[in-house]
Structure 1
């Protein structure tokens, strides 16, 4: 599941990694380039909670390989569409594929992990590793062959579809069928909404930096395309490590303690990234990555424990709707960068982790699956009870 997750989330990272090439080869403005990021996020943000609701009602393991192929097809076609509108359309299709994947994948991963933070951390690690590899993959393909070589970016989708199919078979019917254990407990919507607000603040920071950090670092250091690609790689690669660290830290100190401190770190790190010139900016990119990613898998398990009866819905919101809010804010950042400067557009990102930290104040640790009553549906259905 972790490797399949990596192959799918390559396509979330690939959209941002393609932005500098759209600017260079097609002369997109900052606003137009951020519109591509929006296209990948907008439809995804609307449909991912819907997929979460569906997976709460029916197991759909077949959706995993199909969504991997859909995510890859959209990005693979984005470099050969030519005009702006078709590019937005195929990137949006890729976003739907990513949206379809995550709720069902998180449900299956949770069934296999039985709520263990480290196990879910490994699942999230796969996705974040895919993010980290995306800039390198795009650089290897597009920097050498131009946007016309983008169909080669479909390779991870084919591999991911095969891995997902194999993982579902190996997990067995107990993890993927509608007869899997169902947690019983009261859904705490108030806490879930506050958590979702914090995740949304984190999302705007992450997506804004994903879209523009490579261009920003090139401005601050005077480097070329390689310098910007390196910054994006640091942002994503640090996250892969941070996700694993988050699971281990949560088992020692508690999830909410780790999440709150991560948001506090992010405030200082983003300030340094935006304001500090020269090569030192890479240090602050790494610290920002840690602050953003350490709580990543903890958001998922906290959301699922806040809504124990609706794990798919919780996954769809924490992985989808709130994360995609960042894509909705990207055009505003792009327009501000066109009107003023890229640095001025990134300044508001310093305040958002502080707002997220405030939303987390007063939240209590929800009951974990280890302390939750579990029922198994009667295989004979209601008539068998």
Structure 2
């Protein structure tokens, strides 16, 4: 990290953006308490953040395959923060959904381009990409604390305070873009031929990430309320559970990068999903405060493969890195939010425990899919290949400097 200031700044900027992904789930208990939302209605807020994001991220990914758009980093950061900041100002459910959706679009625009820039800055290092992912996980972990600090002793009308991380994140983008614009030794990037793409493996990987997204988003939407029920506690118990769910991801991302340097990424991901099966079961069925331990283990198990899946997707589709990033880092992650309303309806008609029980099967399905995946061979030098549009523009920027 000391040798790569760009990755450090990107990681911190990633944290600022992903606060707004975590803030959606962190706001749910406040919407339920202040506006008397049912489980189904509250989960619709998560759906609003996920729906447009699911569609937009692959689009932005395809665009970054054709053009370098570094300006998206500060603009999308501000958009993500503005949506959440405005979400609590109106009692209208429709306006709340609209502002949360705006935030989702901002987050969607950020991730494919930031993943492209991070890959350029990391020079293919699994550990560096792990640190970049760590930033996002820290942002997730901080979200319930930031939301609680901003509005926990007031009302939803304090949500404008939540724009502050976006302002900091946008400011951090400026030195990052300047650092990457400096002349550097070696090639700036090359494009692989289309026949180098392993589309079948990429599809299997994407399905595995979808199932991971369903269990993680389902838990992040309802674990706060579930912890309050299981411990007969206040909103503080829910905040702790959500914080642990997000904080474990910080540990998992760094651990995943380290393990991938010793073992291959596919094998590490298989182990992690097996751990997640037992951990999710413990969250749902372990009585009392012991559930908090399983919440942390679930987070670690689900996040060890996180950055590894991003680089696997890029290696399976080497000619379309932006698209691969948009799908593995965006689309498949956002799809989990589409399932949340179904869980909410089931919880309203039965119990929250019954609604969460199907989530145990999700990491099992991810594990089965990873058993059918190969570890991509190390990319070889393609100096003779033509550079993609984004790489040519990166090189032009350096030349102009």
Under a length normalisation based on structure 1, what TM-score does the superposition of the two structures give?
0.95
* 344, 353, 362: which one aligns with 2:372: 362
Give matches, 1:204-243, under 5 Å: 204-243=214-253
Aligned length: 377
Deviation at 1:376, TM superposition (A): 5.6
2:121 corresponds to which residue?
Answer: 112
* 313, 326, 330: which one aligns with 2:323: 313
Cα distance in structure 2, aligned partners of 1:71 and 1:99: 9
Deviation at 1:169, TM superposition (A): 1.2
Cα distance in structure 2, aligned partners of 1:174 and 1:308: 24
* Matched-pair contact (CA < 8 Å) for 1:181–1:376: no
* Matched-pair contact (CA < 8 Å) for 1:115–1:368: no
* 164, 173, 185: which one aligns with 1:155: 164
Cα distance in structure 1, aligned partners of 2:381 and 2:52: 35
2:103 corresponds to which residue?
Answer: 94
* Matched-pair contact (CA < 8 Å) for 1:11–1:71: yes
- Listed as ranges, the gaps of 5+ residues in structure 2 are 1-9, 396-401
* 1:289 equivalenced with 2:304 (yes/no): no
Deviation at 1:373, TM superposition (A): 2.6
Cα distance in structure 2, aligned partners of 1:286 and 1:194: 27
- Listed as ranges, the gaps of 5+ residues in structure 1 are none
Cα distance in structure 2, aligned partners of 1:59 and 1:39: 28
* 167, 189, 192: which one aligns with 1:184: 192
Deviation at 1:170, TM superposition (A): 1.4
Spell out, residue by residue over 1:143-165, the C-alpha distance to the aligned partner (whole angstroms, 9 max, x if none).
12210100000000000001012
**RMSD, matched Cα:** 1.6
Deviation at 1:253, TM superposition (A): 1.2
Cα distance in structure 2, aligned partners of 1:68 and 1:169: 17
2:52 corresponds to which residue?
Answer: 43
2:151 corresponds to which residue?
Answer: 142
Deviation at 1:367, TM superposition (A): 2.4
1:194 corresponds to which residue?
Answer: 204
1:165 corresponds to which residue?
Answer: 174
Spell out, residue by residue over 1:37-70, the C-alpha distance to the aligned partner (whole angstroms, 9 max, x if none).
0000000000100000000000000010000000
* 1:323 equivalenced with 2:317 (yes/no): no
Under a length normalisation based on structure 2, what TM-score does the superposition of the two structures give?
0.92
* 1:5 equivalenced with 2:18 (yes/no): no
1:277 corresponds to which residue?
Answer: 287
